[in-house]
Amino acid sequence: MPELTPEVSRTISPAKAPERSVPQKETAVAREVVRVTIEPRVTAEKHSLETVKAKKLQKKPVPPLWANKAEFLPATSSFLKNCGIDSAYVDPVPMGQGFTHIVFSYLPEGMTPKVIKIPREWSNSLMSTGYKDDNENIALVKKYFGVYAVPTELRRDTTTGKYLYVQDAVKGKPVTHLTETQSVRTQLADMARLNREMMRQTGQSLDFIGIPGGFSLMRHHIRHLFSAKSEFEVSNVLVDDTGKLKIIDDGLLRFRGVPFKQRMISEFGFLMNRLIMRLYFGVDLKPKI
């Protein structure tokens, strides 16, 4: 009997993929990590609130002068706008801070350089009772001191009642007790004469020294114990580049028709002004009776 040949079934298996090299395996793993973990996070960050804000700031036009500096708060920008001032032309970094004002550099387009002085709210009633007094002070300084006065105006925000000073910028240096030029001393004597005339007619006196000047005097006496070169500054009067004296603060010491508190401050301020001006500059501010 013939031998039966068993059937042989053949199973065709799929071709085996060539084995990847080690560098290729590492690359594939890295791509998978990026796809699963990193890409979703990057996509979320692109649409995050901080990213959207940053893009808006980048699209916002920068101020023409102060692109590399800080910006005013919206309330301050609104206040400046209501006073007729474009905040883009005001340096938001103060150039100086007095006892009653904060001073900013202002470069209006097509105009001479100016400064803006914003009164400190808490200082109201110390040297003035508000807008009316300060406006009158500017007029009196201009009337009685003439060429020594610096062009100054008040601008008021009618929505809030707050106001600020706009004044021509003066390049110069403070008057000190070491000022030795005859020209400066002659001008100080002339200013003292004009002050006596204003006191006779109005009862008001210019505050030559200023509160910062008073602090400067105290520091001078302390430093003078260790150095003969120490000096103090008359903070409200400058010597400009041409050697002319300029009054940069129109604050007056008022004695008539003012609250008791303000009158007491004015009396003490005038006493200090008169003493210092006589002792260091040889001029008397008070008229003879």
Give the pLDDT of the chain (289 residues) as one tens digit per residue.
444 444 444 444 555 555 555 556 556 655 665 565 555 554 555 555 555 555 554 555 545 555 556 788 899 999 999 999 999 999 998 888 777 889 999 999 888 999 999 988 766 656 677 889 899 999 999 999 999 999 999 999 999 999 999 999 999 888 887 776 889 999 999 999 999 999 999 989 999 987 665 555 665 556 555 666 666 778 889 999 999 999 999 989 988 888 888 889 889 889 889 988 888 888 999 888 6
Write the burial class of residue 284 (CB in 10 Å: 0-12 exposed, 13-18 middle, 19+ buried). middle
Q: Which helix (H) or strand (E) holds 166?
A: strand 163-168
**Amino acid 68: pLDDT:** 55
**Amino acid 240: pLDDT:** 93
Please, are residues 151 and 167 in contact by the beta-carbon 8 Å criterion?
A: yes
Domain ranges within the chain, ordered by starting residue: 74-168, 172-281
How far from chain centre, in Å, is Cα 230? 28
How far, in Å, CA of 111 to CA of 107, rounded?
7
CATH of domain 74-168: 3.30.200.20
Q: Which long-range contacts (CB under 8 A, 24 or more apart) does 32-36 make?
A: none
Letter for the amino acid at 279?
Answer: L
Please, are residues 188 and 281 in contact by the beta-carbon 8 Å criterion?
A: yes
Residue 212's nearest CA partner among 246, 238, 193, 244 is 238
Please, are residues 174 and 235 in contact by the beta-carbon 8 Å criterion?
A: yes
Bridge partners for 254 per DSSP: 204
Tally of residues, the chain: 289
* Alpha helix positions (H), the chain: 22-33, 39-46, 49-59, 74-82, 131-145, 182-202, 210-223, 260-281
